[in-house]
Amino acid sequence: MENANLILCAVTAAALDICALVLIFAAYREKSTAKKRWARISSNMELVEPGATYPLGCDEVLIGRHASADIRIPDLSVSRYHAMMTVSDGVWTIKDMGSRSGVYVNGVLVKEAKLRENDIINLGSRRLIFRRRRDKHEK
C-alpha cells in the first residue's frame, strides 16, 4: 500500500513535469507566431546599405555610432545618437535626435518624416535604403 502511494505521488509529479514541458513547447511555438506578427506590424521592412542589412526588431530603433545604438554605424560622419525610427499603425517614422549632419530623406533635410518603401536615408556620408525585407532564398 505504501508503495502504491509513492507511485501515485511520483505519477502526479511526473504529470506536472510533462505539463510544464508541453507549455514550454507552446511558448516556443508562439515565438514563431509572434515573429510573423511583428513582420506584419513592422510592414516587414528593413534598412540596407552596401554590405549590410539591418532588421527593424522593435518599435523604437536607435541609429548611431554609439555602442548602445540598436543599429550601430561606425562612421565619424554619423553622430553617436543620430536618429530614432519608430513604428505605429504599420507606418515607420524617422526622427532626428539632434545630430550634427542631419537626417536626409530622399535628399530633403527633415526633423521628422514618415517613411515609404524604397526611401533613401542619408545619415552623414552613409546612405541607407528603407525597403521591404527579402527572404534569403529570394534573388
- Cα–Cα distance, 41 to 116 (Å, whole number): 15
Task: Please tell me whether residue 27 binds other proteins under the rule CB under 8 A.
Answer: yes
Among 90, 112, 114, 117, binds other proteins (CB under 8 A): 90
Task: Compare residues 53 and 88 and give the one whose CB is closer to other proteins.
Answer: 88
Q: How many residues bind to other proteins according to rule CB under 8 A?
A: 47
- Cα–Cα distance, 42 to 90 (Å, whole number): 6
Concatenating the DSSP letter of every residue in 58-99 gives SSEEEEESSTT-SEE---TTS-TT-EEEEEETTEEEEEE-S-
Among 52, 53, 75, 88, binds other proteins (CB under 8 A): 88
Task: Please tell me whether residue 112 binds other proteins under the rule CB under 8 A.
Answer: no
Among 49, 54, 77, 81, binds other proteins (CB under 8 A): 81
Among 48, 72, 97, 133, binds other proteins (CB under 8 A): 97
Three-state SS for 51?
coil
Per-residue burial over 8-29, b if 16 or more Cβ lie within 10 Å, else e, is eeeeeeeeeeeeeeeeeeeeee
Among 11, 52, 109, 120, binds other proteins (CB under 8 A): 11
Long-range contacts formed by 18-22: CB under 8 A, 24+ apart: none
Among 46, 48, 55, 70, binds other proteins (CB under 8 A): 70
Contact 78, 54 (CB under 8 A): no
**Which string of x and - marks every residue 42-61 that binds other proteins (by CB under 8 A)?**
-x-------------xxxx-
Task: Please tell me whether residue 37 binds other proteins under the rule CB under 8 A.
Answer: yes
